[in-house]
Protein backbone atom coordinates (compact mmCIF):
# COMPACT_ATOMS: atom_id res chain seq x y z
CA UNK A 1 0.00 0.00 0.00
CA UNK A 2 1.00 3.61 -0.54
CA UNK A 3 0.25 6.35 1.95
CA UNK A 4 -1.10 9.53 0.36
CA UNK A 5 -0.70 12.36 2.85
CA UNK A 6 -2.99 15.41 2.78
CA UNK A 7 -1.82 18.42 4.82
CA UNK A 8 -3.93 20.87 6.76
CA UNK A 9 -4.11 24.65 6.48
CA UNK A 10 -1.27 26.07 4.43
CA UNK A 11 -1.31 22.94 2.30
CA UNK A 12 2.42 22.19 2.28
CA UNK A 13 3.78 18.73 1.57
CA UNK A 14 6.78 19.75 3.72
CA UNK A 15 4.66 19.13 6.82
CA UNK A 16 4.96 15.39 6.16
CA UNK A 17 8.70 15.20 5.41
CA UNK A 18 9.70 13.55 8.70
CA UNK A 19 6.87 11.02 8.46
CA UNK A 20 7.70 10.16 4.83
CA UNK A 21 11.26 9.31 5.88
CA UNK A 22 10.00 7.09 8.71
CA UNK A 23 7.50 5.29 6.49
CA UNK A 24 10.12 4.69 3.81
CA UNK A 25 12.52 3.39 6.46
CA UNK A 26 9.86 0.80 7.25
CA UNK A 27 9.53 -0.22 3.61
CA UNK A 28 6.40 1.77 2.75
CA UNK A 29 5.83 4.23 -0.08
CA UNK A 30 4.41 7.65 0.72
CA UNK A 31 3.29 10.62 -1.38
CA UNK A 32 2.96 13.98 0.35
CA UNK A 33 0.56 16.37 -1.38
CA UNK A 34 0.96 20.10 -1.98
CA UNK A 35 -2.41 21.87 -2.04
CA UNK A 36 -3.15 25.20 -3.81
CA UNK A 37 -3.78 26.79 -0.42
CA UNK A 38 -2.60 30.26 -1.39
CA UNK A 39 -4.85 30.48 -4.45
CA UNK A 40 -8.07 32.43 -3.83
CA UNK A 41 -9.55 30.70 -6.87
CA UNK A 42 -9.09 27.25 -5.35
CA UNK A 43 -11.69 25.55 -3.17
CA UNK A 44 -12.52 22.01 -2.17
CA UNK A 45 -12.80 20.81 -5.78
CA UNK A 46 -9.33 22.11 -6.63
CA UNK A 47 -7.87 20.67 -3.42
CA UNK A 48 -9.33 17.26 -4.28
CA UNK A 49 -7.98 17.52 -7.82
CA UNK A 50 -4.49 18.21 -6.44
CA UNK A 51 -4.66 15.03 -4.34
CA UNK A 52 -5.80 12.96 -7.32
CA UNK A 53 -3.03 14.39 -9.49
CA UNK A 54 -0.38 13.69 -6.86
CA UNK A 55 -1.57 10.11 -6.43
CA UNK A 56 -1.46 9.44 -10.18
CA UNK A 57 -2.11 5.78 -10.98
CA UNK A 58 -1.36 4.38 -7.52
CA UNK A 59 -3.15 1.27 -6.33
CA UNK A 60 -4.12 0.36 -2.76
CA UNK A 61 -4.02 3.82 -1.21
CA UNK A 62 -4.15 4.61 2.49
CA UNK A 63 -5.31 8.21 2.63
CA UNK A 64 -4.13 10.22 5.66
CA UNK A 65 -5.71 13.63 6.27
CA UNK A 66 -4.35 16.14 8.78
CA UNK A 67 -6.52 18.89 10.34
CA UNK A 68 -8.25 20.86 7.55
CA UNK A 69 -7.44 17.96 5.23
CA UNK A 70 -10.46 16.23 6.74
CA UNK A 71 -12.65 18.27 4.39
CA UNK A 72 -10.63 17.28 1.31
CA UNK A 73 -10.02 13.58 1.88
CA UNK A 74 -13.62 12.34 1.54
CA UNK A 75 -13.90 14.08 -1.82
CA UNK A 76 -11.28 11.86 -3.45
CA UNK A 77 -12.44 8.50 -2.12
CA UNK A 78 -14.47 7.82 -5.27
CA UNK A 79 -11.60 8.91 -7.53
CA UNK A 80 -8.76 6.85 -6.09
CA UNK A 81 -8.42 3.19 -5.03
CA UNK A 82 -8.61 4.11 -1.34
CA UNK A 83 -8.47 1.09 0.94
CA UNK A 84 -8.53 3.06 4.17
CA UNK A 85 -8.97 6.66 5.33
CA UNK A 86 -7.15 7.91 8.41
CA UNK A 87 -8.26 11.20 9.97
CA UNK A 88 -5.33 12.62 11.93
CA UNK A 89 -6.24 15.48 14.29
CA UNK A 90 -8.72 16.25 11.56
CA UNK A 91 -11.77 18.41 11.03
CA UNK A 92 -14.75 16.14 10.37
CA UNK A 93 -17.32 17.98 8.26
CA UNK A 94 -21.08 17.56 8.26
CA UNK A 95 -23.01 17.64 4.96
CA UNK A 96 -23.40 21.21 3.75
CA UNK A 97 -21.18 22.65 6.46
CA UNK A 98 -18.60 25.27 5.53
CA UNK A 99 -15.08 25.19 6.86
CA UNK A 100 -15.77 28.50 8.56
CA UNK A 101 -18.91 27.29 10.35
CA UNK A 102 -17.26 24.09 11.55
CA UNK A 103 -15.47 25.81 14.43
CA UNK A 104 -18.59 27.19 16.11
CA UNK A 105 -20.74 24.20 15.20
CA UNK A 106 -18.37 21.80 16.95
CA UNK A 107 -17.60 24.03 19.95
CA UNK A 108 -13.88 24.05 19.19
CA UNK A 109 -13.05 27.30 20.99
CA UNK A 110 -14.67 26.15 24.23
CA UNK A 111 -12.84 22.84 24.06
CA UNK A 112 -9.54 24.60 23.43
CA UNK A 113 -10.06 26.95 26.37
CA UNK A 114 -11.08 24.13 28.71
CA UNK A 115 -8.02 22.10 27.78
CA UNK A 116 -5.76 25.10 28.31
CA UNK A 117 -7.26 25.63 31.76
CA UNK A 118 -6.74 21.96 32.61
CA UNK A 119 -3.05 22.39 31.71
CA UNK A 120 -2.80 25.57 33.79
CA UNK A 121 -2.67 27.85 30.77
CA UNK A 122 -4.90 30.71 29.70
CA UNK A 123 -6.06 30.38 26.11
CA UNK A 124 -5.71 33.62 24.17
CA UNK A 125 -7.94 34.83 21.39
CA UNK A 126 -7.45 32.85 18.21
CA UNK A 127 -4.44 30.62 17.61
CA UNK A 128 -0.91 31.11 18.94
CA UNK A 129 1.26 29.15 16.54
CA UNK A 130 4.07 28.49 18.99
CA UNK A 131 1.80 27.58 21.90
CA UNK A 132 -0.89 25.65 20.05
CA UNK A 133 1.10 24.03 17.23
CA UNK A 134 4.83 23.83 17.98
CA UNK A 135 4.86 23.25 21.74
CA UNK A 136 6.13 19.67 21.35
CA UNK A 137 8.00 19.94 18.04
CA UNK A 138 11.82 19.68 18.32
CA UNK A 139 13.61 23.03 18.29
CA UNK A 140 15.51 22.37 15.07
CA UNK A 141 12.35 21.39 13.21
CA UNK A 142 10.53 24.42 14.59
CA UNK A 143 13.39 26.66 13.45
CA UNK A 144 13.22 25.19 9.96
CA UNK A 145 9.46 25.78 9.85
CA UNK A 146 9.91 29.39 10.96
CA UNK A 147 12.61 29.93 8.32
CA UNK A 148 10.19 28.72 5.66
CA UNK A 149 7.74 31.43 6.66
CA UNK A 150 4.02 31.31 7.34
CA UNK A 151 2.35 29.37 4.52
CA UNK A 152 -0.44 31.18 2.71
CA UNK A 153 -3.98 29.97 3.24
CA UNK A 154 -6.86 31.43 1.25
CA UNK A 155 -10.21 31.76 2.99
CA UNK A 156 -12.03 30.46 -0.10
CA UNK A 157 -12.47 26.87 1.16
CA UNK A 158 -13.84 28.12 4.47
CA UNK A 159 -16.77 29.72 2.62
CA UNK A 160 -17.71 26.62 0.60
CA UNK A 161 -20.17 23.99 1.88
CA UNK A 162 -18.91 20.44 2.18
CA UNK A 163 -20.51 18.92 -0.93
CA UNK A 164 -21.12 15.30 0.10
CA UNK A 165 -24.43 14.23 1.60
CA UNK A 166 -22.90 11.26 3.39
CA UNK A 167 -19.51 9.94 4.43
CA UNK A 168 -17.76 7.71 1.86
CA UNK A 169 -18.22 3.96 2.28
CA UNK A 170 -14.52 3.53 3.07
CA UNK A 171 -13.04 2.03 6.26
CA UNK A 172 -12.21 5.09 8.35
CA UNK A 173 -10.04 5.48 11.43
CA UNK A 174 -9.85 8.54 13.65
CA UNK A 175 -6.43 9.14 15.22
CA UNK A 176 -5.84 11.98 17.69
CA UNK A 177 -2.79 13.33 19.47
CA UNK A 178 -3.40 13.18 23.21
CA UNK A 179 -1.47 16.45 23.62
CA UNK A 180 -3.27 18.36 20.84
CA UNK A 181 -4.04 21.84 22.15
CA UNK A 182 -6.04 23.01 19.15
CA UNK A 183 -8.33 19.99 18.90
CA UNK A 184 -8.10 18.37 22.33
CA UNK A 185 -8.48 14.61 22.53
CA UNK A 186 -11.79 14.75 24.42
CA UNK A 187 -13.14 17.12 21.76
CA UNK A 188 -12.00 14.89 18.89
CA UNK A 189 -13.58 11.85 20.53
CA UNK A 190 -16.92 13.64 20.82
CA UNK A 191 -16.95 14.97 17.26
CA UNK A 192 -15.97 11.59 15.79
CA UNK A 193 -18.67 9.84 17.79
CA UNK A 194 -21.38 12.37 16.96
CA UNK A 195 -20.58 12.74 13.28
CA UNK A 196 -19.25 9.35 12.22
CA UNK A 197 -20.22 7.03 15.05
CA UNK A 198 -16.56 6.03 15.32
CA UNK A 199 -14.15 5.59 18.21
CA UNK A 200 -10.96 7.62 18.37
CA UNK A 201 -7.53 6.09 18.72
CA UNK A 202 -4.86 8.16 20.43
CA UNK A 203 -1.16 8.68 20.00
CA UNK A 204 1.34 10.81 21.95
CA UNK A 205 1.87 14.25 20.45
CA UNK A 206 0.21 17.53 19.66
CA UNK A 207 -1.55 18.90 16.61
CA UNK A 208 1.57 18.60 14.43
CA UNK A 209 2.31 15.02 15.40
CA UNK A 210 3.91 14.25 12.04
CA UNK A 211 6.60 16.78 12.95
CA UNK A 212 6.87 16.02 16.65
CA UNK A 213 6.61 12.21 16.75
CA UNK A 214 7.01 10.88 13.21
CA UNK A 215 8.38 7.51 14.26
CA UNK A 216 5.48 6.68 16.53
CA UNK A 217 3.03 7.92 13.93
CA UNK A 218 4.66 5.78 11.24
CA UNK A 219 4.39 2.71 13.47
CA UNK A 220 0.67 3.35 14.01
CA UNK A 221 -0.04 3.93 10.33
CA UNK A 222 1.91 0.84 9.34
CA UNK A 223 -0.14 -1.17 11.82
CA UNK A 224 -3.34 0.19 10.29
CA UNK A 225 -2.18 -0.73 6.80
CA UNK A 226 -1.37 -4.29 7.84
Q: For 52-100, what is each residue's pLDDT tens digit? A: 999 999 999 999 999 999 999 999 999 999 999 999 999 999 999 999 9
Q: What is the predicted pLDDT for the residue at 124?
A: 73
Give residue limits of the domains in the chain: 2-225
CA atoms within 13 A on the CB side of 199: 2
Among 102, 41, 114, 115, smallest CA distance to 70 is for 102
Distance CA 211, CA 77 (A): 26
Q: How does pLDDT run across 11-21, given as a tens digit for each residue?
A: 999 999 999 99
Q: How confident is the model at residue 212 (pLDDT cuts 50, 70, 90)?
A: very high
Task: Indicate the fold that domain 2-225 takes in CATH.
Answer: Rossmann fold (3.40.50)
pTM: 0.97
Distances (CA, A) of 58 to 34, 52, 53, 83, 202: 17, 10, 10, 12, 28
- Tens of pLDDT along 186-204? 999 999 999 999 999 999 9
Going by pLDDT thresholds of 50, 70 and 90, the confidence category of residue 136 is very high
Amino acid sequence: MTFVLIPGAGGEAWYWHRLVAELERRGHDAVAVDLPAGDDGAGWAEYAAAVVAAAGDLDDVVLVAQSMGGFTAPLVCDRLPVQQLVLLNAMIPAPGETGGAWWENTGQSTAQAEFAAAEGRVAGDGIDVMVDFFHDVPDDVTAEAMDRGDPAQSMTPFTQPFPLDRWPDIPTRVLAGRDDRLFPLKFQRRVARERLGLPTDEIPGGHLVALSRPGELAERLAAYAS
